[in-house]
Amino acid sequence: MTGFLGQALIYVVPFLFVLTFIVTIHELGHFLVARAFGVKIDRFSIGFGKALLSRTDKRGVEWRLGWIPLGGYVKFSGDLDPSSVPDQKGLAELKSRVIAEHGPGAERDFFHFKPVWQRALIVFAGPAANFLLAAALFTVLFSVIGEQVVAPRVGAVTAGSPAASAGFKPQDLITAVNGRPVREASEVTGIVILSAGDPLRFTVQRGEQTVQLTATPQRQVETNEIAGTVRVARIGLVLAPLRQDFSFRRLNPIEAAGKGVTVIGDTVSSTFRYIGRIFVGKESGDLLNGPLGIAKAAGGVTKQATAVEAAPQVVAFYLALTLVQFAALVSIGMGVVNLLPIPVLDGGHLVFYGYEAVARRPVPARVQEVGYRVGLALLAGLMLFATWNDLQKLSLFKFLGGLA
């Protein structure tokens, strides 16, 4: 029992803490922009299901903490349609009911009767809040630890690997990939991981010479504490920088914010590239994570941070920085997922509002209903796929004959 409780503290508690924090910021984005536009709001809930805690403020907004801590929502007054985009008939019925209950003109305070650009901004504010949160966390992170650049120096080349066939040698310094300059080892790793089966042209500094080498990344199975068991593309290089390959500088808040924005841009770009490669069959989707995978990652970074041999206050500080970085990355992921053009997500609502802005009328109810059902099926399928990935990474299917 003690071991189980210890595992729960390491994996579940950090996951729920980070997820709740990020969801709260996401919903606050919707809430604050809606409040700025004068929208009447019934409820702000963190978590689903019955309320553990509930309080209604002087504006009539119920602030609720649900017992299922895996999401949250903002409920606008009159928001009865599951897709939150009623058609013309639904708007007429809602308007009649609002006027009958609250008097003429009261409908102007309801979300569905706001101009389409205001509704779009309210919906977009949730994902935007996630990106702003990530930017703020990265600003804090880079302000505290500064910027350390580790040059991509080759330490060893695996025999028989694509890198060996390409002619890489120890102490080679990679300066560009496919003509794109690289400064950090992490840049090279990121490019290789998303290029399985695609030849990559490396520009290498070898002593006084500049050499062009071509290697094609191949997938291999790897296991680590954070990601679990995954198949990732590698070319067979071990990057091991020399003393002169390290550089460090402290960043002021403006520089730290700029660095944070750059990291967000690179992360979003890599995410969409990875998703695109899944659709064209170039990636298996192994790196997609569901709740179990995120919880495992949260536990992994927690264990790594607390394994540092140092004074308790140093360990606590290192753990805090690690969770800040983890929360920033998860927040970016939540922002990206919510912008996908699936009707049950914010991105799907934005598609509906785009149609309304052009056609001057809401999307017909039948189209919305079909879109909602298809979107729900797509989202459920994505979650099942991600959860299957999570279970395989945790090696829970080994008894089935090596599926993991």
The torsion region of residue 49 among left (phi > 0), alpha (psi -120 to 50) and beta comes to left
Ranges of beta strands (E only) in 123-188 are 147-150, 154-157, 173-177, 180-181
User: Using CA atoms, how far apart are residues 150 and 133, in angstroms rounded to an integer?
Assistant: 27
Nearest in space to 133 (alpha carbons), one of 327, 369, 294:
327
Of 27, 107, 184, 283, the active-site residue reads 27
Ranges of beta strands (E only) in 112-236 are 147-150, 154-157, 173-177, 180-181, 200-206, 209-215, 218-224, 228-234
User: Using CA atoms, how far apart are residues 273 and 287, in angstroms rounded to an integer?
Assistant: 13
> Does the annotation mark 27 as catalytic?
yes
CA distances (Å), origin 19, targets 183, 381, 383, 399:
33, 21, 16, 32
Evaluate whether 248 touches 148 at the Cβ level (below 8 Å).
yes
Give the three-state DSSP class for 353: helix
What positions carry a catalytic annotation? 27
